[in-house]
Structure 1
Amino acid sequence: MIQFRVTTTASLLALLTSPFFVSLADAADKIVMQIDGAAAPFYAPLYAGVENGIFEKNGIEVEFIYAAAADILTNIAAGNVDFGFPNGDAVVAAAANGLPVKVVHTTYQRGIGALLAKADSGITGYKDLKGKKIAVTSLASPNYLQLQVGLKLAGLSLDDVSVEVVQTGAIVQSLQAGQVDAIVFSELRKYNLEADGTKVTMVLSNDFLPSFGNVVVTNAAKLSENPDLVKRFTTAVTQSYEWVIDGHVNEALDIALDKYAPTWPKDQKGILTTAFEQTFVPTVWQSPLTKEKGLGAADVAGWQKNADILAEYKVIDDAPKAEDFVVDPSTIGQ
């Protein structure tokens, strides 16, 4: 315990103006945010928010750590970390399992999964996949679910195709080498393929299966007991993304590549810039809803549709009510 003994007005004034007292008065809340996967330039807005003092301005000192999405939700529920940044499907699964998690900022307004095929393959949609070999990274991945739903809507099923499981680091190369006819993976890989001279046909999974990429989550108790902290944190996230959207993509990527993901190949900055400017900025971080309500706005109906489809395809036993675990950041603290 720190004790102060003040005997005179002069000594009181000296204490109030001392660097030690000021540092106590202005101390930021120290929080830990656990991010899906590993340090990567795709999280540049968050990194830029720290380096530009945006989190500090909102009274927050943030530390980033990393884990798989399912582990993030477990840690959030247990109170081991303050905030998480997992993908939306994992959040729905956690809510379905009764974990006390709350989405407080729908950062990615849509999912970024996609069917990718070479333009000269004749594949223009799921209807063309009959008899084809399709790669996914895991039979437990959201992309595998997207494949199933896309096939069903085209009047096909898994029995009509051959599914190959290919590791993340090799799935794009498997398409380039002709080892598979198509992949269901991230739409961002379109830019890698095109940079290598491969013309690509793409079908966005979100067009038929509404889902959400990375979103900010916290524990239900933290939201209830400390809404001011949650509000300041989501405000800092919004302001960090706004800075990047407002013409600072290159600066944000420089911060990410130099200080947070230094092992990422620097020669891919051009591809990353294209992905940010053509995908993330216009249609992932922003949507008609965010134009109306601000970044991170919650499309509760979209969340519910996603949960219902996950239940329909037995990814989860029962669909949770979206209104029970999804919060619009504009309502926090009200």
Structure 2
Amino acid sequence: MSNVFKGTVAALALLAAAPAAFATDKVTMQIDGAAVPFYAPLYAGVEQGFFADQDIEVEFIYAGASDILTNIAAGNVQFGFPNGDAVVAAVANGLPVKVVHTTYQRGIGALLAKADSGIETYADLKGKTVAVSSLGSPNYLQLQVGLKKAGLTLDDIKLEVVSTGAIVQALQSDQVDAIVFSELRKYNLEGAGVPVTMILSNDFLPSFGNVVVTSDKLLASDPDLVKRFTNAVTASYEWVIDGHVADALDISFEKYTPTWIDQKALLTTAFENSFVASVWQSDLTKEKGLGAADMDAWQANADTLKEYGVIDVAPKATDFVVDPSDIGK
């Protein structure tokens, strides 16, 4: 047998032994906002091979939540990672999208006030100056619901609208008495030596942060791809939860978010005390696995959005939310 022939046979044998290389699905995931370390589990999922293990090659791109959902519905991208409130609004407006992995088991909105302000409950806001980043933000709704449950209304406070980039500084410099924003800013403030009181909005208004979304069409036509994608997402977050917060952040800094590296200590605290502790995990995920869907909480969120005029009709949670364990059944 000639060397040329032997080489040809060997090459053909290698090709026959590795058909999976030709079966990799290339997909795009559009993420809410911009590349930031808070998405480190997804970045780590790529670099650690969890998506490759599912025969998936994923590209991350970024946009606002409403654009993501429009692109999902139109089939321009296969998967999205918007916030839950935006998904409910999109479904209420007729967009054919499905939540297939409730990655953030709760929202991360919170009321923040200086610890020496005397503000410990929403009832303590009477007569105080409170800031939100916009009147269209989920935090504005959270403020209204929190006040109502305390027997107050917006008329009982002085409301200020302060831009996202300035709202934390407004609290720190005593321009306002409290802000309704992200609980993650607690770590920024405490890192700057400002002790704060925090009231989580999710304690009285069930909501969700980032969740994995796909289109009705893709879920129906290729449930296997959707299942494998959610498996990869779950594996990525499980790896971070299982003692790899620092490793995931290092991956993010090195390849995706280099300008954040000087905030590693603060981010590590935020990941361990919020994300790992209670955002990505819940009693439900302990029973059913990461990404599990709490249908009652989803329905409560949709009903509240309708009650406060954010949407005209509250969609049924079971019509647009799918538990990962049910995909493909």
Q: How does 1:294-309 map to 2 (within 5 A)?
A: 294-309=289-304
Deviation at 1:20, TM superposition (A): 9.7
Specify the alignment match of 1:41 in structure 2. 37
Structure 1 residues 16 and 276: alpha-carbon distance in aligned structure 2, compared to 1, 3 A threshold: same
Match of 2:269 among 268, 274, 278: 274
Q: What secondary structure does 2:180 align onto? A: strand
- Separation in 2, partners of 1:25, 1:126: 56
Q: 1-side partners of 2:123 and 2:306: how far apart?
A: 24
SS of residue in 2 equivalent to 1:80: coil
Partner residue of 1:252 out of 225, 230, 248: 248
In 2, the alpha carbon distance for the partners of 1:218 and 1:281 equals: 25
What residue identity is the alignment partner of 1:287?
S
Residues 1-334 of structure 1 mapped to structure 2, 5 A cutoff: 13-14=9-10, 16-18=12-14, 22=18, 25-264=21-260, 266-334=261-329
Could you list the runs of 5+ residues in structure 2 that have no partner in the other structure? none
User: One-letter code of the match for 2:175?
Assistant: Q
Shift of 1:11: 9.6
Opposite residue 301 of structure 1, the aligned amino acid is D
**Secondary structure of the structure 2 residue equivalent to 1:306:** helix
Q: Deviations over 1:16-70 (max 9, x none)?
A: 3355994775441000000000000000000000000110111000000000011
Length-normalised TM-score, structure 2: 0.96
Give 1:82 deviation, angstroms. 0.4
* Counterpart-to-counterpart distance in 2, 1:22 and 1:198: 57
CA RMSD of aligned residues (A): 1.6
Q: Which amino acid aligns with 1:146?
A: Q
1:291 alignment partner AA: K
- The count of aligned residue pairs is 325
Distance in 2 between residues matched to 1:43 and 1:168, nearest whole Å: 19
| 3-state SS in 1 of match to 2:175 | coil
Aligned AA (1:55): F
Aligned identity (percent) is: 74
Alpha-carbon displacement from aligned partner over 1:196-230 (angstroms, at most 9, x marks no partner): 11110110000000000000000001000000000
Residues 204, 25 of structure 1: CA spacing in aligned structure 2 closer, same or farther, 3 A cutoff?
Answer: closer
CA distance in 2 between partners of 1:72 and 1:333 (Å): 24
TM-score (norm 1): 0.94
- Distance in 1 (CA, whole Å) between partners of 2:75 and 2:16 is 31
**C-alpha distance in 2, partners of 1:176/1:194?**
10
> Take 1:18 and 1:281, find their aligned partners in 2: how far apart are those partners?
43
Q: Secondary structure at the match of 1:263?
A: helix
Give the match's secondary structure for 1:54: coil
Pair 1:318–1:259, CA change in 2 (3 A): same
